[in-house]
């Protein structure tokens, strides 16, 4: 892993800028979490300033440890409006896989924010962690989250399997996967019936974005 690459501060995706979260983002973060639909699908909850500060600390600590990279997604064409969040949860080097998660602020839905941001995140992850042999990115969501299914497909994450419900999630989930083709470095979706490595059936539904 190239340390400079892995600590990249910003990524670009068309009009979108992906950057580390800042203290100045907390009011917009609290406002985004007022959306009932978003709260229902995420494990993390932010209802006040104290919870927002804790949410931010977790992401700062993850970036510092190199295990969790969360990016605020802002729209440069709309004055830097906060439109979402994307995150990479990276396991120990050599495992070959990592998990991505995202959310989009309610006012920005339907504008193609999530696929564009997830595409940039995935491209960066495969390049930044190529030295650690990262070849697979997983995106998990609840079975009843049909919007996330559409986002996954648009982002190049093919459907792989249904994950059985298990606490704290009351319903089944979907695993979608994007692969990095070793010989070319290009990513491709993984679809259909596949043989996953033994013991690799994760049961989380989404990165804690």
Q: Where are the alpha helices (H) located in the chain, listed in sequence order? A: 3-6, 26-32, 36-41, 49-65, 113-128, 146-154
* pLDDT for residue 202 is more than 90: no
pLDDT tens readout for residues 32-67:
999 999 988 888 899 999 999 999 999 999 999 999
Q: DSSP of 180-207, one letter per residue?
A: E-TTT--EEEE-SS--PPTT------S-
The pLDDT of 81-101, averaged and rounded, is 91
pTM value is: 0.81
């Amino acid at each position: 892993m190239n340390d400079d690459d892995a600590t990249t501060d910003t990524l670009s995706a068309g009009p979108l800028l992906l950057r580390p979260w800042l203290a100045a983002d907390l009011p917009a973060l609290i406002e985004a979490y007022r959306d009932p639909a978003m709260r229902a699908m995420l494990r993390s909850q932010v209802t006040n300033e104290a919870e927002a500060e804790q949410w931010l600390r977790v992401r700062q600590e993850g970036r510092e440890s190199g295990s969790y990279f969360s990016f605020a997604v802002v729209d440069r064409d709309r004055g830097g409006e906060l439109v979402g969040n994307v995150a990479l949860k990276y396991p120990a080097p050599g495992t070959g896989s990592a998990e991505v998660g995202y959310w989009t602020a309610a006012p920005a839905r339907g504008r193609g924010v999530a696929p564009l941001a997830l595409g940039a995140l995935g491209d960066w992850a495969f390049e930044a962690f190529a030295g650690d042999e990262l070849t697979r990115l997983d995106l998990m969501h609840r079975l009843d989250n049909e919007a996330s299914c559409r986002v996954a497909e648009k982002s190049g994450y093919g459907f792989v399997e249904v994950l059985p419900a298990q606490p704290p999630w009351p319903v089944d989930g979907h695993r979608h996967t994007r692969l990095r083709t070793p010989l070319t470095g290009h990513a491709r979706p993984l679809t259909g019936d596949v043989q996953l490595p033994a013991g690799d059936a994760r049961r989380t539904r989404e990165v804690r974005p």
